[in-house]
Structure 1
Amino acid sequence: MAKQTKEQLLKRQFLDPKNYPYGFSRSGDFSISESQALSRYGCLIAALVDGFLEPENDEDEGFLASARGEREPLTVAERAWCKYQKRINRPRMGSIYGSKSRGMSESDDMGEESDVEIELDD
């Protein structure tokens, strides 16, 4: 993979279709300014945190320090990134009903090899 520059990362819009399939602004988790900052700076902050890009200036150092939890987020982009990380890494609630396969064997699933025969009267 070719190494990307800071300018290229700032031109890319940050998206997370797995956790936010309709976008950050439509999720209700972020304000308008936070969703805009996350879309604009998300690729850059992700590259800094993952080590794909070295910090070039104080702004990049600030992004990295707040993302690591070394200092409080000061800018809208830093606050949005920290909020985003808290949202996607929160513990998932378990179901009170358990999983589908918990009480059923594979043959009970009505799959390909089921012994259940259904007769239809004409």
Structure 2
Amino acid sequence: MKAPDVRVSPKPFIDRSKFPYGFRKSGDFSISEADLLTRYGKTLLALESGELAPASVDESHFMEFISGKAEAVNNLEKAWQKYVHLARGKRHFYTLHSSAASNQSDYDDDFTDEEFDVA
């Protein structure tokens, strides 16, 4: 695959608030996705915020992609889409506690402290 025609960030892109151990160790990104985000992330963030103007065809397409006018067509845009979803999207938490067992009063009526011999 050819490299995207996007300016390489002068410094690596790191999001310590959402991915404290880095993109590679998060378990959410493949190695190639993590490398793309690290290499181009600051440029993409600057393009998204309007700090940089697009200077190439790929950067112009990225601007259309983030505005919702185009689909992600290259690996960089797909990695950015995944990053935005994970970093800015709503996190879902799952527990082992079921809502049926949460009503403890149903179980308190069956037992009293006198039934147990506590030494």
Same topology, TM > 0.5: yes
Q: Give 1:80 deviation, angstroms.
A: 0.6
8 Å contact from structure 1 (residues 17, 23) kept in 2: yes
Whole-angstrom distance in 1 between the partners of 2:29 and 2:21: 13
Over 3 Å counting, the alpha-carbon distance change for 1:73 and 1:52 in structure 2 is: same
8 Å contact from structure 1 (residues 14, 39) kept in 2: yes
Whole-angstrom distance in 1 between the partners of 2:84 and 2:49: 13
Whole-angstrom distance in 2 between the partners of 1:74 and 1:95: 33
2:12 paired residue number: 13
1:74 paired residue number: 73
CA RMSD of aligned residues (A): 2.3
8 Å contact from structure 1 (residues 45, 64) kept in 2: no
Unaligned runs of 5+ in 2: 1-5, 96-119
What TM-score do the two structures reach when normalised by structure 2? 0.67
Whole-angstrom distance in 1 between the partners of 2:34 and 2:93: 28
Stretches (4+) displaced over 4 A: 93-96
Give the number of aligned pairs.
Answer: 91
Match runs of 1:28-39 below 5 Å:
28-39=27-38
Could you say what secondary structure the match of 1:26 adopts?
A: helix
Q: Give 1:76 deviation, angstroms.
A: 1.2
Amino acid corresponding to residue 53 of structure 1 in structure 2: L
1:89 paired residue number: 88
For the pair shown, the structure with the greater C-alpha radius of gyration is 2
1:99 paired residue number: none
Whole-angstrom distance in 2 between the partners of 1:56 and 1:20: 29
Could you say what secondary structure the match of 2:54 adopts?
A: coil
2:50 paired residue number: 51
Q: Give 1:12 deviation, angstroms.
A: 1.3
Instruction: Give the fraction of aligned pairs with identical amino acids, expressed as a percent.
Output: 36
Q: Give 1:11 deviation, angstroms.
A: 2.1
Cα-to-partner distance string for 1:36-69 (whole Å, 9 max, x where unaligned)? 0011111001000100011111011122222222
What TM-score do the two structures reach when normalised by structure 1? 0.66
Unaligned runs of 5+ in 1: 1-5, 97-122
